Amino acid sequence: MGEMDKGVEYMQGLSVAICTRNRVQDLTRCIHSITKQDIGRTYPIEVILIDDGEIPARVLTEFEALLTGYGYPLTYFKKTDRGLWLSRIKAVELSTMDKILFLDDDVEIPAHYLSTLIQTYDDYPNCAGVGGIAIGMRNSFLGTIRCLLSFQQSLSSGKLSLSGQAGSMYNWHKARKIFKTEFQHGCNMSFKKAAIQDLKPVPWLTSYSVGEDILMSRIARSSGPLYINPELKLLHHESPASRDNLEDVAYTRVLNHVHLLKDKRSGPIGYLALMWTTLYLILREQPKKNVAAIKGYKKGLKEIFNRQTAG
């Protein structure tokens, strides 16, 4: 099993974990795509649903019949404490396999996805995790320039920006080979269970949990390198259903990156870069008259300033 196991052995196989909230139609589409894989029945695969909403019993019965018909047992858990990070923790706790794939409930994976993922783990046995790409997530040339100037992305595809943003993933579609990365995209990320088995609740990661994928990637990297395989492409429909309040999301997007910078022990440059990024986001929303988002970003900007002057 390797040095990451910390004395614990897991069954060789893959847990496909889906954290969901009130998106039955999207989730149904995702489940169907999982049952169309070309990996066959020889490799152990289980599906774990962590539910922060309401899935009708009839639908769950249909999911279980469909998945078990393909040899994929289903584990369902209804949470009472909402939050994506807590759902990730519960999925890891319930997983019985040595690898965990996290998919958003509004994605579809192509038929080769799971077999390609397993092969990548075989090709990079010392890795801590493997991630993929969302089809359509890309920046134009001018968009890339704007993201670079506003510190939303790095010049390197596998690195976070100066302000801790993950905008570099918008250029992942250009990759032609597997590359190392500091982070994965939350809708399409996987890890060896041994690398994330000790996840704990985090006070600032609540509800929508902006940046939780960055933190999880950071935790996993202490056990080994992470890779992005450009062949692991999926469709991310980015359903608007069940999204949190726009003002709260904007505020959390700033505040959580403050916490991520603090966790990284970033110097003043990181916080100044985040202030610049936030100012850009405010200016970007002005022509759209997106009052809620602007208000949230301004609250976040004030929080950065207060923390810097206090510290």
Distance between CA atoms of 283 and 40, rounded to whole angstroms? 50
Ramachandran angles phi, psi of 283, nearest 5°: -65, -35
Q: Are 116 and 131 in contact (CB under 8 A)?
A: no
pLDDT for 3: 42
Using one digit for the tens of pLDDT, what is the confidence trace for 250-272? 999 999 999 999 999 888 999 99
Distance between CA atoms of 274 and 179, rounded to whole angstroms? 26
Using one digit for the tens of pLDDT, what is the confidence trace for 72-108? 999 999 999 989 999 999 999 999 999 999 999 999 9
pLDDT at 202 exceeding the cut of 50: yes
CA-CA distances (angstroms) from residue 199 to 1, 24, 52, 88, 259?
20, 28, 19, 9, 17
Using one digit for the tens of pLDDT, what is the confidence trace for 157-188? 999 999 999 999 999 999 999 999 999 999 99
pLDDT for 10: 85
**What is the end-to-end Cα distance of the chain in Å, rounded?**
44
For residue 219, give both structure tokens: 């935790």
The whole-model pTM stands at 0.93
pLDDT at 1 exceeding the cut of 50: no
